[in-house]
Amino acid sequence: MENERENEVVSNLYIWSCKRRLILEGLEFKFGANDINALTWLRLFDRNEARSVTLTEMKRENGSFVRLTQESLTVTTHKLRLCLGPWPSNKKELTRQWPRPSVSQSISLHLPIAPSPNPPSPKPSSPAPPFSAPRRSISALSPDLGSPSPILVSDNGKGAIFPSSAASAESSAIEVDAVTEAELKENGFRSTRRTKLVCTIGPATCEFEQLEALAVGGMNVARINMCHGTREWHRHVIGLVRRLNVEKGFAVAVMMDTEGSEIHMGDLGGAASVKAEDGEIWTFSVRAFDSPLPDNTISVNYDGFAEDVKVGDELLVDGGMVRFDVIEKIGPDVKCRCTDPGLLLPRANLTFWRDGSLVRERNAMLPTISSKDWLDIDFGIAEGVDFIAISFVKSAEVINHLKSYIAARSRDSDIAVIAKIESIDSLKNLEEIIRASDGAMVARGDLGAQIPLEQVPSAQQKIVQVCRQLNKPVIVASQLLESMIEYPTPTRAEVADVSEAVRQRADALMLSGESAMGQYPDKALAVLRSVSLRIERWWREEKRHEAMELPDIASSFSDSISEEICNSAAKMANNLEVDALFVYTKTGHLASLLSRCRPDCPIFAFTTTTSVRRRLNLQWGLIPFRLSFSDDMESNLHRTFALLKARGMIKSGDLVIAVSDMLQSIQVMNVP
Ligand SMILES: Nc1ncnc2c1ncn2[C@@H]1O[C@H](COP(=O)(O)OP(=O)(O)O)[C@@H](O)[C@H]1O
Ligand SMILES: C=C(OP(=O)(O)O)C(=O)O
């Protein structure tokens, strides 16, 4: 039927390169009946930054049939994305977003690369590079106008045609995240996301398809919170993430978060939430309830609670989301009047305040790792999780203790320990805790319940800075997009908060309730992704080169050499504007040293084991690949180039800097 006619490309689009000009020729496009009244648009996105370089309205013939005979554009890039589609009938739509393209396709410009006869001199603003390397220049390398050479023939939307290569048979010998691979092919190196994304898995995201949607949406690490759900449930989720990695080629790491010794409410007898209204009287009780909870009753996990609180204290749920005044104590029951109404969520954190200060009596003496946490840690070790996050860390001692416990129990796996910074004690001992840990989380939910809210932003900034200086990955967590638990779009203030974390160049952002039990987990993830990309791009456009001072952290001479190599390689990468840094690393250490420098280009981290590859997935700017390699850097490089070229992820002429922890060397070269 006419009405069901699809949009259709009738003839191929031919693209020719002539000096800096790109000639598009021969496209014939037929719109479906629904698009008959639409104008048409053609838009090309620059590979580096995915911004529009031109917009052309095309000629319309015979109602819905359009043809582009010839169009010529100036190009500044090696890779473009072409979108073609109907112009929206409602122009207001344009102010929000571009219309959905009918055809969208990546175009690689396979230009022959040779050293430029006149290499440009170094930018006056940047320090002189240690030596001059051949730089890519499209204008110098493209064929003459008189003899245009075809650089790509569109295959009608089915994807770009890449030249076949002898290496293609071997291309499966390199393992890379399927989404990253597609991103690299589509948008090029520069537009890959540097900030990593952690998603808490809960009832809203625990099915295979839901986990897959998160992985496709950019989830790098799946977090399971042992405060909720059973071990059986968590085992099932870990199994599904594994299956996803094996079957779909992802490298999603698993982070197990311990419950810790906080005071929290019980699980509300299965209810997702209950509302406490202004003036209502509620009972907080340490009694164990077998049957359904009596009305307006909350169970509390800490036996000392009823003894520690005093009449007149203020009881805060989740750092003040709901507030009560303590009005009476009757044995195990504490009667409270609601003063700030709100939703009570299962296992919400409880703190009590006296004369304006947090009460830290016996509860401050609770062990950081409870007996339940130790059982959960055994579970995590047995399941081979990649990270264990420890709640309410007070000192470095507990981290060291846990690390030696893990080392003794899991000889063949290397689980990284993440310290959650969420208490006054952890702020006091920040540097020693971070030194002892393999990474940290700014756990703003509980932190905001222990320090005044207005101090949380400066605490976050400080934690991120210390982590970056000490070369430990840092995650900014909690309430980033809280409103998206219920609504499909974030508030402006939430976007500003996410932007600030990206601007601070934290390694990772984390979703909690938004992905665990919210209504829009995929949309929340998409917001983190798009805000990260936008702010990272802004950072590069503004040429905000790293201002943070990075102290020497090496503990041996050999480590000092690695550190110097990485600092120099990152600086060279910025000055020479290379396409990517390649790092060959068995333990991941050299890759993390490069990440610490936050270079402008992405870092391709090649490592020999899948577990190191998954762990590197938490670190800023790293694109981890699993690859077996030898001590011979020359052959490693040529093999890598061949493998990546066969998969369409790099192309001749790309300029890379390679560093390796076997030879402690730096090499600068164009991909042959
Ligand atoms: N495994 C789970 N089972 C059920 N609900 C969960 C699970 N994990 C998380 N949630 C829900 O998501 C919310 C946010 O998760 P998170 O921030 O990790 O926990 P919390 O709110 O306890 O700090 C929780 O309050 C809980 O309602
Ligand atoms: C991430 C946090 O910890 P949890 O979700 O375990 O309370 C937090 O408090 O911000």
Q: What is the pLDDT of residues 310-325, one digit of tens each?
A: 999 999 998 888 999 9
Q: Which residues of 634-657 are buried (b: 16+ CB within 10 A; e: fewer)?
A: eebbebbbbbbbbbbbbbebbbbb
Residue 345 vs residue 103, higher pLDDT: 345
> What does the block give as tokens for 441?
């989380």
Q: What pLDDT is recorded for position 532?
A: 96
- Best-predicted range by mean pLDDT (164-173, 397-406, 656-665): 397-406
Residue 331 vs residue 48, higher pLDDT: 331
* The pLDDT of residue 123 is above 70: no
Residue 424 vs residue 20, higher pLDDT: 424
* The pLDDT of residue 285 is above 50: yes
pLDDT band at residue 121, thresholds of 50, 70 and 90?
very low
pLDDT band at residue 145, thresholds of 50, 70 and 90?
very low
User: Could you tell me the distance, in angstroms and rounded to a whole number, from the CA of residue 441 to the centre of ligand 2?
Assistant: 9
Q: Which of 257, 258, 301, 460 to mutate to test the pocket of ligand 2 (most atoms within 8 A of CB)?
A: 257
* The pLDDT of residue 635 is above 60: yes
Residue 61: count other Cβ atoms within 10 Å of its Cβ: 10
Mean pLDDT, residues 636-659 taken together: 88
Q: Could you tell me if the CB of 345 is within 6 A of ligand 1?
A: yes
Q: Is 81 helix (H, G, I), strand (E, B) or coil?
A: strand
Residue 100 vs residue 205, higher pLDDT: 205
* 5: enclosing H helix or E strand: none
Rounded CA separation 530/494 (Å): 13
User: Could you tell me the distance, in angstroms and rounded to a whole number, from the CA of residue 225 to the centre of ligand 1?
Assistant: 7
Q: What pLDDT is recorded for position 94?
A: 44
Backbone angle region of 19, left / alpha / beta, with phi > 0 → left and psi within -120 to 50 → alpha: left
Max CA separation in the chain (angstroms): 94
Q: Is 507 helix (H, G, I), strand (E, B) or coil?
A: coil
- Do 535 and 499 touch, CB atoms closer than 8 A? yes
Ligand 2: residues with CB < 6 A are 225, 227, 257, 391, 422, 443-446, 477-478, 512
User: Could you tell me the distance, in angstroms and rounded to a whole number, from the CA of residue 445 to the centre of ligand 2?
Assistant: 5
ipTM reported for the complex surpasses 0.85: yes
Q: Which of 351, 456, 512 to mutate to test the pocket of ligand 2 (most atoms within 8 A of CB)?
A: 512
User: Could you tell me the distance, in angstroms and rounded to a whole number, from the CA of residue 3 to the centre of ligand 1?
Assistant: 47
Q: pLDDT by residue (tens digit) across 8-44?
A: 554 445 555 444 455 555 555 555 545 444 445 555 5
* The pLDDT of residue 567 is above 60: yes
Rounded CA separation 296/274 (Å): 9
Q: What pLDDT is recorded for position 147?
A: 28
Torsion sign (Cα): 431, 435, 436, 439 = positive
3-state secondary structure 362-390: HHHHCCCCCHHHHHHHHHHHHHCCCEEEE
Mean pLDDT, residues 252-257 taken together: 97
Q: What pLDDT is recorded for position 278?
A: 95
User: Could you tell me the distance, in angstroms and rounded to a whole number, from the CA of residue 407 to the centre of ligand 1?
Assistant: 29
Cα separation of the two ends of the chain: 52
* The pLDDT of residue 487 is above 90: yes
Q: Which of 223, 228, 317, 350 to mutate to test the pocket of ligand 1 (most atoms within 8 A of CB)?
A: 228
Nearest CA to ligand 1 atom 13: 513
Lowest mean pLDDT among 109-113, 334-338, 637-641: 109-113
Q: pTM of the full predicted structure?
A: 0.73
Q: What pLDDT is recorded for position 74?
A: 52
Mean pLDDT, residues 266-272 taken together: 81
pLDDT band at residue 501, thresholds of 50, 70 and 90?
very high
User: Could you tell me the distance, in angstroms and rounded to a whole number, from the CA of residue 327 to the centre of ligand 2?
Assistant: 29
Question: Which one, of 199, 233, 200, 203, lies nearest residue 216 by Cα?
Answer: 199
Q: What are phi and psi of 479, to 5 degrees?
A: 60, 25
Q: Which residues of 160-193 are buried (b: 16+ CB within 10 A; e: fewer)?
A: bebeeeebbeebeebbbbebbbebbbbbbbbbbb
User: Could you tell me the distance, in angstroms and rounded to a whole number, from the CA of residue 231 to the centre of ligand 2?
Assistant: 19
Q: Which of 350, 423, 517 to mutate to test the pocket of ligand 1 (most atoms within 8 A of CB)?
A: 517
Name residue 406's amino acid: I
* The pLDDT of residue 345 is above 80: yes
Residue 208 vs residue 301, higher pLDDT: 208
Looking up tokens 């990253």, which residue turns up?
180
Q: Could you tell me if the CB of 445 is within 6 A of ligand 1?
A: yes
Pick the atom of ligand 2 nearest to 257's CA.
Answer: 6
